[in-house]
Chain A
Amino acid sequence: MLTGAMESAIVLDEVSVTYPGGERPALDRVSLAVPEGRLLVLVGESGSGKTTTLHLINRLIVPDRGRVLVLGRDIAGVDGVALRRGIGFVFQSIGLFPHMSVAANIAVTPSLLGWPQDDVAARVNELLTLVGLAPEVFSRRSPASLSGGQQQRVGLARALAARPAIMLMDEPFGALDPLTRDELSAEVRAIHDRLGLTTVLVTHDMTEALLLADLIGVMRDGRLVQVGTPEALLARPADDGVRALFEHPRRRTEELARALHLAPGV
């Protein structure tokens, strides 16, 4: 039933997860395929299983049942540490190492992989430039001296440092102010395209999902309700729940358009 699995960078096959002490499974027989080079956005309410899905892909969580394939390999037999060094991970609380400089934070994974010092240093400069931070200004600063947006740019650079083919992003813009958020999400999409990444991004912001995604997966109560392009989901929602989810941004957009038309001088 999973056709085209070979071209999929990430495949979840009938995966279930139950947390210790959990009454119902956090993830219930979820199957999902992310084609190479695509950006999949997972949406759904809190506790619907988005983050759990994400953590399965880099083996931060091990499934009770089912298989997870990354770049064609079943990761059940793969060392989690090695796997994670090849997958970028960005999350809402950023988690920069406070005792290390910006440069040292970005250099972490390449250093763990034993890259030569010069290569690491060159890569750090390259990445700082890529995420829009001037290396000569930022590389020696401490994370605490950066704004939230700058910190998440460093987080992004750190995730990209070892040239991963896959990026996992858990509400990466959740803690940022709206302006920074728009700016950074546009950049993330641009970087995704430029580097040819396969990205899975979790958000609860439907507008963001519609604007960023190649594919959107809707989750509810540990199940994947529907997967498809934004257009497909808007045109043919699987059920009333999915319809309601997209109703909100649509209504807001219409209200906004009306308000802007009525505003004097526009």
Chain B
Amino acid sequence: MGAALAHLPEYLGAHVLLSLSAIALGFAISLPLAVAVSRLPRLRALALGIASVIQTIPGLALLALFYPLLLALSAFTLRSFGFGFRALGFLPALLALTLYSILPVLRNTLTALAGTDPAVLMAARAVGMTPRQSLWKVELPLAAPFVMAGLRTASVWVIGTATLSTPVGQTSLGNYIFTGLQTENWVFVLFGCVAAAMLSLVVDRLLALAESGIATGSRPRLGAAALGLLVVLGTSLAPLVAGADRPVVVGTKSFEEQYVLGALIEERLQRAGYPSERRDGLGSTVIFRALRAGDVDVYVDYSGTLWTTQMHRSDMPGREVVLKELAQWLARRGVKDLGPLGFENAYAFAMRADRAKALGVESLTDLAAVAPRLKIGGDFEIFSRPEWQAVVRAYGLRFSMQRQYQANFMYRALVDGDVDVISAFSSDGRIAQYGLKLLADPRHALPPYDAVLLVSPRFAADEKFLGVLRPLVGALDLTAMQRANLMVDDAHDKKTPEEAAAWLTRHSTH
């Protein structure tokens, strides 16, 4: 609870800034749009149709789609006009949420305008108003309460959906939820939900006050609502304004080990006087692109992952060659590979020891023989990764069923017998905890997965900066990493990633 509260000013501030900007921008688009198309039946139907379709796109997907779009746009502006912009974080989240907020205001305004009493419209013409005067003096004022109601709906949607902007690198109250989900810290998840709900509720009540102020023409109510919104905005944004200097951005993917490593890196940077911030829970392709674009400055990736997904290599020349070629490949792209941290987090297929013994499975070759009767569980990535295709090809694997899980639920599913095999991670503390059997890979279908520390082009030549991080290279062995990971996973004596990182610092091999 204390740990959750410590993050509140940062998360809440970012959340409020993001959602209110999106609501304001959305309103600035949807109201004029509604007015513009209200008298053109075809465009009206088109605008409503498009807004409705946008609404049906899942929030997370809409947010995710904006990242590659902006990245391409940024590359284009950089080439053509000499400037780029950050494609990760605030911008994609803002644009996606803005689109999301358009429909309620658009629909309500159009409905209200279409429903204006014909007698009143006739009167407006008869007293000598131009169409524009009729719109501004009569139709819009009469539609105002409905417009406000639409704005309230939009606000509740946006504030709720903004929690999903964490995976595109925008800090929000969703950081509690995503971090909590990965580390099974349910207090964090609950805290994030409650905080987002409370914010929604407060903004909704203030807008309701404004709505009734408009409907009854009460200036005091309108004033109170405006004041309330300003207070919300002011208090939440104060901490953001305090530190405007662009900090070092530490990125993490969406599993415990990454959070621990993120905390470890951040702790070193801060001790050396570098202000830093985190972009947590990024997808593994997104994070590498973000690093190249300078949206993330430092993170830990795994050699095999880059080898297969970025370099598109399917040959397995051995651990040393992979590391060497990877570093060269990265250098050509301006990315600094500081080197391996000292442990591997490989994809490895795991079974319950008793089940493996009963089926007589020791290796992937043995597994292939019984696979058609078995169910396999994986994380959200494995089945679409080249490694999986390589393994399937090498061993001719076919399972009766494939299921995808959040990493920590995947272990639960294996232990409970919901699936027979999972795609585990070799550095995961739960392999030892549950006594799981890792299957051998005699045909070397899977590449090595050395954890490597990567630095963005911005700091690639900054020796002072590199010097701060270099002591981490070769400092973490597998046992230490497994234990640190287990600390965060442990349901009985749960530690925060920061605590696990501090433990690692004390027990690292240097």
Report which A residues bind B (CB closer than 8 A): 58, 60, 81-82, 84-86, 89, 91, 93-99, 108-109, 112-113, 158-159, 162
Contacts and interface: CB of A to CB of B under 8 A. Distances in A.
A84 B128 contact: yes
Interface stretch (B117-125, B351-359, B404-412): B117-125
Contacts, number: 61
A95 B120 CA distance: 4
Instruction: Name, among A86, A98, A108, A158, the residue most crowded by chain B CB atoms within 10 Å (CB to CB).
Output: A108
Given A85-B128, A91-B126, 17 more contacts: A58-B126, A60-B125, A60-B126, A84-B125, A85-B127, A91-B123, A94-B123, A95-B117, A97-B137, A97-B138, A99-B141, A108-B127, A112-B128, A112-B129, A112-B133, A158-B127, A159-B127
Contact of B130 (A58, A81, A94): A81
Nearest to B133: A112
B217 interface: yes
Contacts of B124: 95, 97
Instruction: Name, among B120, B121, B125, B128, the residue most crowded by chain A CB atoms within 10 Å (CB to CB).
Output: B128
Contact of B127 (A82, A89, A98, A99): A89
Nearest to B142: A99
A94 B434 CA distance: 80
Contacts of B121: 95
A91 B217 CA distance: 27
A30 B138 CA distance: 35
B126 A98 contact: no
A164 B136 CA distance: 25
A104 to B, nearest CB: 10
B120 A84 contact: no
A138 B122 CA distance: 24
For the complex of A and B, list the 6 residue pairs with the smallest distance between their C-beta atoms, beginning with the closest. Answer: A95-B123, A85-B128, A93-B119, A89-B126, A95-B119, A84-B128
B490 to A, nearest CB: 63
Interface residues of B, number: 20
15 contacts: A85-B127, A86-B128, A89-B123, A93-B118, A93-B119, A95-B117, A95-B122, A95-B123, A97-B123, A97-B124, A97-B137, A99-B217, A108-B127, A108-B129, A159-B127
A82 B122 CA distance: 16
Contact of B119 (A60, A81, A86, A94): A94
A118 to B, nearest CB: 21
A246 to B, nearest CB: 31
Contacts of B141: 99
A84 B126 contact: yes
A60 B121 CA distance: 12
A97 B126 CA distance: 12
B142 A98 contact: yes
A135 B3 CA distance: 66
B128 A81 contact: yes
A81 B125 CA distance: 8
A174 to B, nearest CB: 12
Interface in B110-156: 117-130, 133, 137-138, 141-142
Contacts of A97: 120, 123-124, 137-138
A7 B329 CA distance: 97
Contacts of A108: 127, 129
Contacts of A60: 122, 125-126
Contacts of A91: 119, 122-123, 126
A96 B138 CA distance: 10
A169 B120 CA distance: 16
Contacts of A99: 138, 141-142, 217
A94 B130 CA distance: 19
B159 to A, nearest CB: 30
A137 B217 CA distance: 19
A54 to B, nearest CB: 10
Instruction: Name, among B117, B127, B133, B142, the residue most crowded by chain A CB atoms within 10 Å (CB to CB).
Output: B127
B322 to A, nearest CB: 72
Nearest to A86: B128
Nearest to A108: B127
Nearest to A85: B128
Nearest to A101: B217
Contacts of B217: 99
Contacts of A158: 127
B427 to A, nearest CB: 67
Contacts of A95: 117, 119-124, 126
Contacts of B137: 97
A85 B138 CA distance: 17
B117 A81 contact: no
Instruction: Name, among B123, B124, B125, B137, the residue most crowded by chain A CB atoms within 10 Å (CB to CB).
Output: B123
Interface in B75-131: 117-130
B118 to A, nearest CB: 8
